[in-house]
């Protein structure tokens, strides 16, 4: 790396470049999904099966490369918890998200998903029987006000308002299941590193997704899909699934969880810009206003910032 300019050396050394790359990779997942849907006749479960089949060897590599993190031998209880986390975090959250992207824009999808830190706080408050502070409630209110502005505008401007509603409900279900995934990671993170946990959960969920697909369809239709669908699934598996997990871990090692989470807030902005540049999705004033309110609200959820960073090592 000696031939790289000095600013790149500094960005690599302090972790900021890794954090930006992770945010970019995660934000492009919705773009790859929309491009795959446009490239050929593929449904949500088939596309998810492609993504997870291609990501499975990479998840196994994550487990192998991070084997020194935490306990060397997992108990039966650990295995069951990993399977449950994989069910929520990679299987159901991804499946619901893919269903939703059949109906709504990539920009609105990312905006809905980005409200998951508010759901994490609600789940934690219920489990710990703690009443949220006034500041937390105000921040959550800002998030959902911004989401409501963007959502109402999309319904009003779209020809199929009911489809926007259906797609939004699917994506919100994805946010809920992902929040459940994060809420359950605390105990496991004490026993192993975030990269190893993400690799184990990803491996478990990959097997679940492939089992689901084989129960409802044959392998032959997957092999007959257009090459463009395979290409976007491969890019999603590498650039929007496994590599961002690795980059987030490197960023946290160098700049800590809080600063990494702050850079992760670029995700919705990058998704909106990419959907405009690549998918020709319109950017309205209402979307910008909604995005601003959601970002500001999430930034005021200080406990959720740590949640964002830890859970981003396995974002659906």
> With 0-12 CB in 10 A as exposed, 13-18 as middle and 19+ as buried, what is 159?
exposed
* Residue 214, token pair as written in the block: 């084989």
Is the distance from CB of 248 to CB of 22 less than 8 angstroms? Answer: yes
pTM comes to 0.84
Residues 6 or more apart in contact with residue 112 via CB below 8 angstroms: 100, 147, 151, 168, 171, 172, 175
| Domain definitions of the chain by residue range | 16-314
DSSP code for 218: -
The rounded distance, in Å, linking the Cα atoms of 295 and 79 is 36
DSSP code string of 17-58: HHHHHHHHHHHTHHHHHHHHHHHSS--HHHHHHHHHHHHHHH
Residue 186 has pLDDT above 60, yes or no: yes
Higher model confidence: residue 45 or residue 221? 45
Higher model confidence: residue 42 or residue 71? 42
Higher model confidence: residue 9 or residue 253? 253
Share of the chain above pLDDT 90, in %: 29
pLDDT in tens, 94-152: 999 999 999 988 888 888 888 888 888 888 778 777 777 788 788 888 888 888 888 77
Instruction: Report in angstroms the alpha-carbon separations of 163 from 37, 43, 68, 103.
Output: 16, 16, 47, 6
Residues 6 or more apart in contact with residue 151 via CB below 8 angstroms: 108, 112, 164, 168, 290
Is the distance from CB of 58 to CB of 314 less than 8 angstroms? Answer: no
Q: pLDDT value at position 285?
A: 83
Question: Which of the residue ranges 12-16, 211-215, 240-244 has the most confident prediction, judged by mean pLDDT?
Answer: 211-215
Q: pLDDT value at position 261?
A: 66
pLDDT in tens, 50-101: 999 999 999 998 888 877 766 667 788 888 999 999 999 889 999 999 999 9
Q: pLDDT value at position 70?
A: 62
Computed over every residue of the chain, the mean pLDDT equals 82
Please state the separation of Cα 157 from the chain's center in Å. 27
């Amino acid at each position: 790396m000696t031939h790289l300019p000095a600013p790149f050396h500094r960005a690599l050394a302090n972790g900021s470049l890794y954090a930006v790359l992770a945010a970019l990779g995660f934000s492009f997942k919705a773009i790859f999904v929309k491009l795959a849907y446009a490239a050929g006749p593929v449904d949500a479960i088939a596309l998810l099966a492609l993504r997870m089949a291609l990501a499975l060897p990479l998840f196994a590599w994550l487990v192998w490369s991070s084997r020194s993190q935490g306990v060397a031998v997992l108990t039966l209880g650990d295995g069951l918890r990993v399977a449950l986390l994989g069910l929520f975090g990679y299987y159901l959250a991804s499946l619901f998200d893919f269903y939703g992207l059949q109906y709504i824009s990539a920009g609105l999808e990312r905006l809905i998903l980005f409200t998951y830190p508010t759901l994490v706080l609600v789940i934690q408050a219920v489990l710990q029987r703690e009443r949220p502070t006034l500041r937390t409630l105000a921040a959550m209110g800002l998030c959902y006000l911004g989401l409501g502005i963007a959502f109402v505008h999309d319904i009003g401007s779209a020809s199929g308002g009911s489809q926007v509603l259906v797609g939004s409900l699917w994506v919100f279900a994805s946010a809920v299941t992902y929040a459940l995934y994060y809420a359950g990671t605390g105990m496991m993170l004490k026993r192993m590193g975030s990269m190893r946990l993400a690799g184990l959960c990803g491996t478990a969920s990959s097997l679940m997704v492939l089992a689901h697909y084989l129960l409802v369809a044959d392998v032959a239709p997957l092999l007959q899909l257009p090459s463009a669908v395979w290409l976007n699934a491969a890019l999603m598996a590498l650039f929007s699934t496994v590599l961002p997990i690795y980059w987030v871990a490197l960023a946290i090692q160098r700049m800590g969880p809080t600063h990494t989470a702050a850079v992760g807030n670029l995700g919705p902005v990058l998704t909106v810009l990419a959907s405009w540049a690549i998918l020709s999705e319109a950017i309205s004033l209402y979307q910008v206003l909604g995005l601003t309110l959601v970002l500001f609200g999430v930034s005021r959820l200080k406990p959720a910032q740590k949640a964002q960073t830890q859970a981003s090592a396995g974002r659906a």
